[in-house]
Structure 1
């Protein structure tokens, strides 16, 4: 079968193929002079040829936070020592390529076998037992002196009897060409306000010479004394451990110039893990490989190292769509089956959801409060759904409320604001101009009824992206100390653009001096990416299970203190508290009898995500929340391929227009929902013609009002919404139909 014309045209035009997607944010390299680490006068340089080099190295680590030990290994020894880590790295990187793995930044987004610490910088663990012990002894004799004031880790086993310090981590860091410098950070916290000896030592052994062009590790001398965020005088908190963009030597009060640890082959770098450091920018044309060994004191395990719960051994997102399609009764099968390309309007329901709802209707049709089986089943349906959504959003189950729809819940919440918040003249509410109307009109009505100014979040200067401009200056132009609410969408249901809601929530808090509540509409985003309200930092978030393979219903998350304090509409006879065993697991935010069969379906839908994490994400045995998160990693990896294929095809068609992020290599900023137009066809006409050709989709403005400003008509565009059960072959069918209309 010949390749479709859109694909042949893409190949002829020189478009690139698909690459693993990376979810990241770039950091700005600080423009600050660096000292020359190779200077003979540098006090942190110690030569291994010196008889007392071990004591001198320990002294430098204590004083400066690190030491560069020159010429510890000759060329053959270096090759022997680093070979296990290099071999493991080649194996793992080959697996990443063959399985088309998409990694996010951080160990929670990685695998036990590998994680992406920052763009282009991979950490690949390798067990200590793989390395030659006679060469490790040279390193461990120094680590023993530095960590000598406590016993070795019991986990070191027999090594403890030999005087070897606790072996924590070993492996290889590979920084690929063009990888940016990391953000300044320390690896673990001080445990007490007073400075003490190091908890953990990191030892870096480059595979060869590291020049300044290759981006050597950069360190701030003496900073191991200053990164103590437990001190009352500290101007920073635990963000120093997690690579916050605000981190800098100045922030911790350092006046020292950072040094770049350039090294000759055979030299090593040892540093106290509390020193402020970062991997440098690799401007060379080849990988920079550095083998690492970390040694710890007894009973210390830093929380910022490997936390990943999934494994590459059983990860295979490439088989997901073909495998799970049969589990969705609403999907058609066969060569002439239609392509369901309207996932943005609502997803198909998983078989387990149908079974759970039928089970509830069959055996749990009653109301709560009775001492009989069907009543107990009804109450259990409520409790289970609340617990499931708490895992789904990573919150307390008391912070979950259910309703008939997201729209109903937002109006419910807006009435609580109207009755329980004392707005004053000069206050303002900031809204999202890209959002669905359900995240606009309830707040507009709230503002009008209280005489509050309405402001709008700014949009990206490239209007065709249909994206919010979340930069500090842009947000600062509309959010101030009089802002009482900022309502934003996690992603546009009209064009698929995804927004950095975590940064927006943080900036809303900072710019309003903590006076603004933050509300996130996650209805469109929920089936495409993991939602963690703790990481997002929002006060409220709403979503709809019928968009993520469950029944029609609405879910609201709210911070417990706020849900308890705001006045919720209710009957006088209704309980006025949050869910508990005593009140039958009902919430003061829920009106009347709940839809128990829908709640049973919600529980099943959430369990389905966890099972995806087991089956295709390698997370079997992890916690429920971790399994769900891993299931989304597999979904994102597959949908990234769908997005690239679609955008490459659309870009090759001269008569096609697409709104939203259109770059195939920028897919992390959009979902797999596409707003398209073809020259000469109205939006509904294009949708009708596609439906005639078996591409089921819709057209319209999708309850949003931004279209004319961003290059479309008020009627909107044709919308093609794909989900994880759609295949690359279906994308090709869509593109072929668009090309031939």
Structure 2
């Protein structure tokens, strides 16, 4: 019924849209003259009688309304003043603390979020705004979000969700099309959440007004029959568009606004903030209201506070907690890519387990119980570290050991033939087991495309190697040889799509794990491996596998061992773990994860009482911010050095603080030897990777590789200066 109504009104709506945006606009002239307000049904004059009813009708029918003249000049100053003052304070603090925000609410702070490049949301508490001014639009929101419950004089109040300022800085581009809330039922219903945007000044085309697809609040229902998308519409994904929801023929409304006007829209409408091509900030006050029982967690997911965020003191403070940094005198440990130093808490945990927990599990006595607690505690810690279920965590002697173990299980489980797609710049542990297994299965081996030692994950590049015959895709989250970081989330998503869901995906996160958050739910992989000795714990290996696969694949085990995933009935042992586990190492693993979580509240802005997973998230943000400064300092400094070359990604955002370096006239091992003599401890070689001939551009060969400098969060900017001086002098 709706589609027919829409089609019959389409030409009228297009005429209205053209009339609503045709008038010339300047910053000093209101973009909507009085005649235009009367022509477009979504333009409502707030000074007219019955404007509230007209506004509600437009929101229900079209998904939005533009209320013109809602606030006079003095009212607007009172309304916007608190939020504008708070915004200046917050963004000044952000700059003073040296923070570069990644895009996304979870990557932000309670005080500020970067929604898209150059576009900030700065929340402000509702209590800071005059209630009598809020009532001008709260009465509309309350009636729509309570289905009209209440009386005109005393309407039921909708829940106040968010308020603050949206600032689009000069040069910020248009956002990607998106909706902000999902539908809850297959049938279209009244709004779950409404957003109110109040213009603090005239918002012209140059300042980038909000764009909305007329009537699209119905079509964004991913639950309706025939919908070709799911909740990805809630996030700014490049593939989102009006066409994606079948709205390509609907008009796009440019919501130009004069100062004091308000745009109220259903949170489910397809919309985007326009690009700001002016020389000034575009500041809009926002207020969001929801049904009392509606969950809106996707809007603000930050787990840290800017007030207690202090990444600049991180390296200096934690160095004293690593005995290995003090043991060898005045040297720079630049071998983090080979393995990190152990945190003192991990060393203590290993020692205590060896002292008081030397027993096997299953006994009714303290040392045996302590051994079992080491296993269950480490499994819980790694489930927080990886964001997975405890039963999806497997322990082993090393990542390589676990990969070989998994390969033995995959052999009889995967069908013969087809093709396997592998990473040409990966560590050998993520290449040769799969090459050999593919050979036994008669499968063709293909290689992921790479440029400048970085995997290419664009659809066109991947479509050349991944197809419906692909059965397995393996890639590194980051190169242990040159430090390039790969978009394994996009790779896994496209691998599933291009293979029509037939390919299993494996991610080697060994090198990436000490540098950034590993979240298997976000990545979307089937398997992932990492090594705690790379992230400040003892030597061990960890494998994540999706529960269904771990339950059904034929694990290589002894007949006398339990054939279940870990639980209290089998003393928390997995069918994938053969023999007695290294309990002391597992105790150290738990301590290392706890140390990283502690960084979240010590330097990352998380509350000390926050769940460990949230503190880990905040801790990684602090680590990434510090390592960004290390990367920038090294990459800028090396440009001025004579005859020194760095292989790999030039953009710090796409690499870890690991650098493959060469110096003209010196072989890799000789360069590393000279650096070590100058107090810069590092390594040289091919680092168990076989890509050097094809991808180094002549800087290295397969036998010798390059010298490698690996920095971690306990390294300092002063140490970077020492490394640069040693490279110059070598």
Q: Above 0.5 in TM-score?
A: yes
Q: Which secondary structure does the structure 2 equivalent of 1:250 belong to?
A: helix
Alignment of 1:577-726 (within 5 A): 577-620=564-607, 621-662=609-650, 666-709=651-694, 710-711=696-697, 712-714=699-701, 715-726=704-715
The separation in 2 between residues aligned to 1:575 and 1:492, in whole angstroms, is 37
Q: What is the CA-CA distance between 1:422 and the residue it aligns to?
A: 2.4
Q: Select the residue among 177, 180, 184 that pairs with 1:184.
A: 177
Matched, 1:251 2:244: yes
Deviation track 1:621-648 (CA, whole Å, cap 9, x = no partner) reads: 2211111111101100100010000000
Matched, 1:261 2:255: yes
The separation in 2 between residues aligned to 1:674 and 1:36, in whole angstroms, is 58
Q: What is the CA-CA distance between 1:597 and the residue it aligns to?
A: 0.3
Q: Counterpart of 1:59?
A: 57
The separation in 2 between residues aligned to 1:128 and 1:479, in whole angstroms, is 51
Q: What is the CA-CA distance between 1:53 and the residue it aligns to?
A: 1.5
The separation in 1 between residues aligned to 2:57 and 2:413, in whole angstroms, is 62
Q: Counterpart of 2:506?
A: 519
Deviation track 1:337-374 (CA, whole Å, cap 9, x = no partner) reads: 10000100000000000110111000100111111111
The separation in 2 between residues aligned to 1:148 and 1:667, in whole angstroms, is 49
Q: What is the CA-CA distance between 1:331 and the residue it aligns to?
A: 0.2
Higher relative contact order (CA 8 A, sep 6+): 1
In the superposition, relative to structure 1, how do residues 35 and 638 fare at CA in structure 2: closer, same or farther (>3 Å)? farther
The separation in 1 between residues aligned to 2:18 and 2:232, in whole angstroms, is 26
In the superposition, relative to structure 1, how do residues 572 and 34 fare at CA in structure 2: closer, same or farther (>3 Å)? farther
Q: What is the CA-CA distance between 1:151 and the residue it aligns to?
A: 5.5
Deviation track 1:205-250 (CA, whole Å, cap 9, x = no partner) reads: 1221111122111101101111111212222111111223222112
Moved more, 393-402 or 140-149: 140-149
Is contact 2:170–2:277 with CA below 8 Å preserved after alignment?
yes
Is contact 2:421–2:465 with CA below 8 Å preserved after alignment?
yes
Q: What is the CA-CA distance between 1:164 and the residue it aligns to?
A: 4.3
Is contact 2:146–2:156 with CA below 8 Å preserved after alignment?
no
Matched, 1:194 2:178: no
Q: Counterpart of 1:23?
A: none
Q: Counterpart of 1:3?
A: none
For structure 1, the residue ranges without an aligned partner over 5 or more in a row are: 1-32, 153-159
Q: Counterpart of 1:315?
A: 309
Q: Counterpart of 2:96?
A: 98
Q: What is the CA-CA distance between 1:75 and the residue it aligns to?
A: 2.5
Deviation track 1:362-409 (CA, whole Å, cap 9, x = no partner) reads: 010011111111111111111111111111000011111111110011
Is contact 1:151–1:297 with CA below 8 Å preserved after alignment?
no
The separation in 2 between residues aligned to 1:333 and 1:90, in whole angstroms, is 46
Q: What is the CA-CA distance between 1:165 and the residue it aligns to?
A: 3.4
Q: Counterpart of 1:434?
A: 425
Q: Select the residue among 369, 372, 376 that pairs with 1:379.
A: 372
Is contact 1:361–1:597 with CA below 8 Å preserved after alignment?
yes
Is contact 2:386–2:519 with CA below 8 Å preserved after alignment?
yes
In the superposition, relative to structure 1, how do residues 677 and 35 fare at CA in structure 2: closer, same or farther (>3 Å)? farther
Deviation track 1:30-69 (CA, whole Å, cap 9, x = no partner) reads: xxx9856445132211112212222111111111111111
Q: CA RMSD in A?
A: 1.7
Deviation track 1:127-177 (CA, whole Å, cap 9, x = no partner) reads: 11111223222222332343352659xxxxxxx977543221100111112
Moved more, 406-415 or 294-303: 294-303
The separation in 1 between residues aligned to 2:533 and 2:136, in whole angstroms, is 60
The separation in 1 between residues aligned to 2:139 and 2:366, in whole angstroms, is 67
Q: What is the CA-CA distance between 1:674 and the residue it aligns to?
A: 0.5
Q: What is the CA-CA distance between 1:653 and the residue it aligns to?
A: 2.2
Is contact 1:107–1:306 with CA below 8 Å preserved after alignment?
yes
Is contact 1:341–1:696 with CA below 8 Å preserved after alignment?
yes
Q: What is the CA-CA distance between 1:77 and the residue it aligns to?
A: 2.3
Is contact 1:528–1:636 with CA below 8 Å preserved after alignment?
yes
Moved more, 648-657 or 370-379: 648-657
